[in-house]
Amino acid sequence: MTDPRFPSDFHWGVATSSYQIEGAAAEDGRGPSIWDTFAHTPGKTVNGDHGDVACDHYHRYPQDFDLIAGLGLNAYRFSIAWPRVQPQGKGAWNAKGLAFYDRLVDALLERGITPHATLYHWDLPQALQDEGGWLNRDTALRFTDYAVTMGVRLGDRVAAICTHNEPWCTAHLGHHSGKFAPGLKDPQAAVQVAHHLLLSHGLALQAMRAAGVKAPLGIVLNQSPAVPATDRATDLALAEREYALFVRWFMDPLFLKRYPTASGVHLYPQVRENDFDAIAQPLDFLGINYYTRIWVSSEEPPRPAPRMDGVTDMGWEVYPQGLADLLTGIHREYKLPPIYITENGMANADTLVEGKVHDAQRIAYLKGHLEALSRAIAAGVDVRGFFYWSLLDNYEWDSGYDKRFGLVHVDYATQQRTLKDSAHWYREFVARQRAAHGA
Ligand code: FCB
């Protein structure tokens, strides 16, 4: 089968985040984040793994960017560690931290790689958590100050600034299931946090625009279609509820100035007058992270998903068509800005044998999702780029270093990087896209 064809100016990239790769946790004046605290709390992560060293990207970024350039990619999505640039989350700025991100952006531009910056990929300064974290409405104001400083500093050199990465995870995994930092288990707190995250996003967009930041501004949401196991009314209702909680919970305030209602949804946050006006700022783009679908069954025990294309090492079903279904669905329901697929990828039980990693499963995953993405584009969704998660094997949060998502294998003992078969496949795929456009 021939390759699907993507637009000529498409952004072909890879994504990472600060805490998952940088390391240098106590270097050059970086303050502690909630992930340092959480990961160093016994029992919170697999093997007690933490990001103290991670991929040592703080020191190795030039070599890592050479890898991206070598793959022929033209875009890179990274996140800024707030406690590296403002150790207490308010007050003094850390010149060395700011200089690091300056160097990082320049190193990308020198290699012809377009930087996409994320302001918040979960590493809140611990000092702000000590004052209530995202449960404290004031954190939205602290975030706005941080956003303006970074926006003014980097906005002339980056192709995109996104406020939050996956606010659903911050809210629910961080404050309801307690799987992620800060580890709270309070469902009412989770919805309040989600509201403060959305508010902080809107206030930050307003303030960055008022400060003259020119870069396109947006937010990244993790989304999945919720697929009922049967077309029985109980399954359909449950699917509607799951979709409301996962997708509409963020889309409705951003685009329609309200929270969704659905049967079975009971918890709502405290909302002040004008909050929705603040939240629903025009978006220059929307980032979507897609990994799998939500399968919904009201039976007891639940009817299992068919899992025709297998499961990943995370136990997540491989379901490429879900990406097309999701995008065409939100395209119908909302007036969308241009879309980037800011994350898509899989964990695989990769092994390095004689300098090679044969990750055929990842190639199949990538190919399937790119084909699904091209179907969504053909159906009219304006998609401008795709970022594979992740460039490197890295610190997968509570799963520690056990789960390998990279196109590039990392030997954590030596920090040796090795391109997996999937990296070669992606390079060749992108090269064929360029050739097809006569570039
Ligand atoms: C997403 C996160 C990212 C990574 C992938 C596997 O939810 O944004 O940091 O952990 O999942």
Query: Between 3.20.20.80, 1.10.287.180, 3.30.160.60, 3.30.1330.20, what CATH number should domain 11-436 receive?
Result: 3.20.20.80
366: part of which helix (H) or strand (E)?
Answer: helix 360-378
Return the SS3 of 333.
Answer: helix
Q: C-alpha angle 183/254/7, rounded to 5°?
A: 105
Number of C-beta neighbours around residue 398 at 10 A: 18
Closest CA to 150 of 182, 174, 115: 115
Query: And the tokens for 230?
Result: 């049967």
Q: Answer yes or no: are the C-beta atoms of 13 and 116 closer than 8 Å.
A: yes
Nearest residue to 136 via CA among 121, 125, 150: 125
Predicted confidence (pLDDT) per residue in 249-300, tens digit: 999 999 999 999 999 999 999 999 999 999 999 999 999 999 999 999 999 9
Measured between its terminal Cα atoms, the distance across the chain in Å is 22
Tell me the CB-side half-sphere exposure of residue 205, using CA atoms within 13 A. 23
Instruction: Among 168, 343, 387, 396, say which to mutate for ligand 1: greatest number of ligand atoms within 8 Å of CB.
Output: 343
- Catalytic sites, residue numbers: 166, 343
Residues 126/33, Cβ–Cβ less than 8 Å: yes
- The CA–CA distances, whole Å, from 292 to 12, 151, 210 equal 21, 32, 38
- Look up the pTM and report it: 0.98
The number of residues making up the chain comes to 439
* Probe residue for ligand 1, chosen from 122, 168, 397 as the CB with the greatest number of ligand atoms within 8 Å: 397
pLDDT by residue for the chain (439 residues), tens only, comes to 689 999 999 999 999 999 999 999 999 999 999 999 999 999 999 999 999 999 999 999 999 999 999 999 999 999 999 999 999 999 999 999 999 999 999 999 999 999 999 999 999 999 999 999 999 999 999 999 999 999 999 999 999 999 999 999 999 999 999 999 999 999 999 999 999 999 999 999 999 999 999 999 999 999 999 999 999 999 999 999 999 999 999 999 999 999 999 999 999 999 999 999 999 999 999 999 999 999 999 999 999 999 999 999 999 999 999 999 999 999 999 999 999 999 999 999 999 999 999 999 999 999 999 999 999 999 999 999 999 999 999 999 999 999 999 999 999 999 999 999 999 999 999 999 999 999 8
Tokens describing residue 55: 């991929």
Place of tokens 């992620």: 180
Cα(2) to ligand 1 centroid in Å equals: 30
Does ligand 1 have an atom closer than 6 angstroms to the CB of 17? yes
Q: Is 396 in the pocket of ligand 1 (CB under 6 A)?
A: yes
Residue 398 Cβ < 6 Å to ligand 1:
no
